[in-house]
Amino acid sequence: MPKKKQSKDTSNSKSYSRPPIVGLGILAAVAASVAAVYWRPSSGTPLTPWQPRRVDAYAPLKRIDGVLIDDFVPPRVIASLRRELLESVRGACAAPTTVCFDPARVDVDRTTGELRAASTLPPWLANATANETVNRPGASHCVRGVAEADAHARTASVSFVASRDEFVAAKAVERAIQSAIGLPGSLGLFQQLLYYPPGAPGYALHRDCRDDAAAAAAAAGGAAPQERAFTTLLYLSDNASGETSFPAFDVNIEPRAGRFVAWRSLKDNKCDPASAHAAGPVAAGDAPKLVLQRWYERAPHLPGPNAHGEPWTRCSLGEDGSVDLCRTYCASPRARAAADALRFGMDAFTAHKQGDPDARHAAVESLADALSLQPGLSLAQVMLAHALYDADDVDAVRVCDLCARFLADYPSLPGVSEDAETIFEELRCDGDLVGRYERLALDEIAAARGPVTI
């Protein structure tokens, strides 16, 4: 935490010292590791404000605290999200250049540590040339320019990944979710706008939560394990097929534009088997199925740069080498540009904290660029506030505004919020500034859902 400064001196000779910032040491560690896409405190897990109204409880999913609300947000919000998704599917996500395939079974090469298929691969994948093979972190058997692979990509479902504030309509849904079930946006992971084309096979039975070795390894490395404790779905289209099914309860939920569904995936800190669900196939004669989906954690975290750069497609293979399911992942050019600026800003901020005399200016410039593209990037807000605070001539108005915006969303993130509060106090910022941003959030909730009676 920054050291308290002396009371403000009104003389022209007054200058601000640069106190050590303990909380930002943690952020600097995050900045140094791009692999740690998300951060949250490693100790102390506050109670999650999961507080759905009784009238919204969905009895068939009672065991997993299911919620179902029709007409969740006004039709204009649904129409806006639908338009954004369809434009993205036809534009930013239209031509993925890399297609990756997950074999049904893999072995680990003890010498190189590489994953090797232990099940059948289709001939066109097994015989891909060196010029057609692509290395992609976190994926295997990736190719580019293979006709058979490209054909599967063209019929894949699409996950368009958006940040918290990329679209006004998505922000409205975030506020509506906070109003309806108590989960604030600071607990949410990225938002996915999902597109299932007519004839899509759907999505296989799975649980969203993670309590596996990969999650534990992520936590040990300083990144959030992404437990995905809660799932929310908002359907954006009317469909006669493509139901969301919960086999443990023999429940099938039909997609209806404006219908909101949420449930709990963790029980006693473990994945609840009853939360397993699947997306049914979309009939060839049906309309495209459109959904806004988001996972929520149990504790707040700071989202880092968007993990998706160029569009790419991931497919799963059966034991016989047949292609089961494919999904294309993509983000908007604006989100990708903001992510690039944030990554550069994080690196420059780390260099600044390590003593590079020229890095602070580069950090300020890059973090400001990221915020100009996506004003709600909380990590960029707090890092830019600290970088500006370290200047000889502090832009107090700007720093106060950044800290207030951050504290309105993250009032109690251990270490980080305390740092922001200390700076806020030392610069003698307007004490009501945070409250004004909090009230703005309430206004956004009212605009999204109208008056809500608890």
Q: What residues does 314 pair with on adjacent strands?
A: 100, 327
Please give the model's pTM, rounded to 2 decimal places.
0.82
Backbone angles phi, psi at 237, to 5 degrees: -145, 155
For 98-212, strand residue ranges (E) read 98-102, 106-108, 115-117, 133-134, 142-143, 157-162, 188-196, 203-206
Residues 182 and 277 reside in one and the same domain: yes
- Rounded distance between C-alpha atoms, residue 352 and residue 184, angstroms: 32
Percent of residues in the chain assigned helix, strand, coil, to nearest 5: 35, 20, 45
**DSSP H/E element including 125:** helix 123-126
Residues 362 and 403 reside in one and the same domain: yes
| Of 226, 209, 213, nearest in space to 264 by CA | 209
- Rounded distance between C-alpha atoms, residue 262 and residue 271, angstroms: 16
Q: Which residues contact 307 (CB under 8 A, 6 or more apart)?
A: 37, 161, 190
Q: Are 321 and 333 in contact (CB under 8 A)?
A: no
Residues 324 and 342 reside in one and the same domain: no
Residues 163 and 278 reside in one and the same domain: yes
pLDDT of residue 422: 93
pLDDT of residue 22: 40
* Per-residue pLDDT tens listing for the chain (454 residues): 444 343 333 233 333 444 444 444 444 434 433 333 333 333 444 456 788 888 899 999 999 999 999 999 999 999 999 998 999 888 888 877 899 998 888 776 667 666 677 788 999 999 999 999 998 887 889 999 999 999 999 888 999 987 767 788 888 899 899 889 989 888 988 888 999 999 988 888 999 987 665 555 555 544 555 688 999 999 999 999 999 999 999 999 999 999 999 999 988 888 999 999 999 999 999 999 999 999 998 888 787 777 677 899 999 998 899 998 899 999 888 888 898 999 999 999 999 999 999 999 999 999 999 999 888 889 999 999 999 999 999 999 999 999 999 999 898 888 889 999 999 999 999 989 998 888 877 776 666 665 544 3
Residue type, 398: R
For the four alpha carbons of 243, 248, 249 and 250, in that order, the dihedral sign comes to positive
Residues 279 and 400 reside in one and the same domain: no
Within 10 Å of residue 290's Cβ, how many Cβ atoms? Answer: 25
- Count of domains forming the chain: 2
Cα 242 to chain centroid, rounded: 24
Residues 159 and 175 reside in one and the same domain: yes
Residue 360: give the domain boundaries. Answer: 336-449
**DSSP H/E element including 109:** none
Q: Half-sphere exposure of residue 150, counting CA atoms within 13 Å on the CB side?
A: 9
**DSSP H/E element including 136:** none
The residue to which tokens 């990554």 are assigned: 343
The residue to which tokens 């952020």 are assigned: 27
Residues 381 and 268 reside in one and the same domain: no
Residues 252 and 198 reside in one and the same domain: yes
- Rounded distance between C-alpha atoms, residue 444 and residue 435, angstroms: 14
For the four alpha carbons of 137, 140, 143 and 149, in that order, the dihedral sign comes to negative
- Asked whether residue 454 is assigned to any structural domain, the reply reads no
- What's the CATH number where 221 sits? 2.60.120.620
- Rounded distance between C-alpha atoms, residue 175 and residue 156, angstroms: 31
| Of 136, 141, 114, nearest in space to 125 by CA | 141
- Asked whether residue 133 is assigned to any structural domain, the reply reads no
The residue to which tokens 């996972």 are assigned: 295
| Of 338, 406, 297, nearest in space to 38 by CA | 297
Residue type, 379: L
